[in-house]
Structure 1
Amino acid sequence: MPPKPPSRLFSIPPRFLCPAVPQQYIRTIKTIHPGKPSRFNYGHNLPILGSSKTAAFLRKEPMLPFRTGALAVKQGMTGIYDPETAKRIPCTVLQLDRCQVISHKRRDKHGYWAVQVGSGTKEARNVTRPERGHFAAHDVPLKRHLAEFRVKNEDGLPDIGSIITASLFQEGQFVDTRAVTRGMGFAGGMKRWGFSGQPASHGTSLTHRAMGSAGASQGSGSRVLPGKKMAGRMGGEMNTVQNLKVMKVDAANGIVVVHGAVPGPKYGIVKIQDAVKKPWPDADPMVGLSMPGTASLAVAEG
């Protein structure tokens, strides 16, 4: 048990012992009263509770990337011939569409460090008034898609309005991609979970692809346990594919080609960020980021 706190200096005596004390004085004492101490982790110089938000943030902090990611459009798959191995490498083509930094999420205000990124464009008549106010407050154009990318600290927050180009990623580095998978509709147990099905003979009638029993009787409480694999809606869920190697980068056209398949349908939105299970790329956190005026000036000078 925590040590018993000492007697408070401004403790309020019972009313019957001091009937002449004005009510205003009692209210003043209550305002400067420190309040009831917590019976958990009471005292100074004690370790942080493992179930607190601060401890959770410290556990996750080493896994957070140093810089922001980008929103891209999945244009489809292709192949790249490798002359060294004489093999065709399957790749996915991702293209950045007017990707721009919209706002920041700060630790002192929101509880974490993050960068809000928008891509595409949208007509003002199709944007709600709160959304138009959000874009106007940060002096950025209207965007069709918005997403957040967690970063490690304040150094990974680029200037609001910065344009994110394909040069944010370098050839040879590894990235993680996140997207919503293709919706398959209502699917059975064999397609959704890989069930083997029931026997083709020996009395099986019209239930060759059925899942069979959904659970025991008294042994499991005469009920179907939560999380049971059954037929239902398949797809349409956020999925992450990690450790995809960047094969080609075309900064002029905003194209990033990655090795392997990426979740989601064609022309779907994909989130790209540095892989958390690979060494961080040796690059400046602000590479591939530029303000709209400086970007146009660089193109004109080139």
Structure 2
Amino acid sequence: MTRPARTPLPPWLKVPLPSGPAVARIRAVCQDRGLHTVCASAKCPNLGECWGAGTATFMILGGLCTRTCRFCAVASMARPPAPSPQEPDNLARTVTEMNLRYAVLTTVCRDDLPDQGSGHIAACVAAVKRKTPKTLLEILLQDFRGEGTPLKTILASGPDVIGHNLETVERISSRARDPRSGYRLSLSVLAALRRLAPKKPLKSSLMLGLGETDEEITAALRDLRDCGVDLLTLGQYLRPTGTQRHLAVARFVTPGEFDHYAQTARGMGFAHVSSGPFVRSSYKAAEAFAQSILNGTQK
């Protein structure tokens, strides 16, 4: 089977990948403890900048997801292995040794587990908070099929920032995401998080470059603000592989267009907006948290 040809990258997306002894050391520590840093495994070009600022992103609940979203590089399995009971302690030790002032936790979906992994996520948050209480912790959540109990369990563990990604505009959502996910479901999760934690910074993200229009982007931003989202990231979708599983890039959004969308979002009242070709959900997360405090989101 012939793979579709990859679309050539524009000049503004051609940057060297992070490397060097620091990257190798942290990757080795995480592999030794069975941890996944999204920064290193995805070869994120922002890695050096974020780690240098004392921020890193970890993916917990294992490296296999029960869903098959067509934008995501994470491998899928209907019933992945059980989460490691050592993960909370290993995570807390690693965050401490990396001397992180800000850590981001993101998760795979675990529809196969009775609580969808919420108890394990809460244990990870609590372990980090016990080991290094000064480290601020952001948690990027799955949708938990819209159920409220998992959200309450995780919020009770004490994360400082909560988030759930809308991912894309409404028209494209059903094509890009697993059938168990959805645009309106994600909005309901964000609204529930705002009700359950009215004073915590609430974050979401959109990928651009999947064929969305300016009007659709504006509508999605308005929907996010209506749910009470304070912190926003906008970034370029990049196809993980050239296989049919992953959606092709419809277009490469220019840096100037990202600036325009950022201005639109700020005009709607978002407390902090990160918008650019290489921006990802956790990009400059500590800066976004600080800005939310300055703008009065967190009391």
Bigger fraction of residues in strand? 1
TM-score by length of 2: 0.25
Larger Rg: 1
TM-score by length of 1: 0.25
Bigger fraction of residues in helix? 2
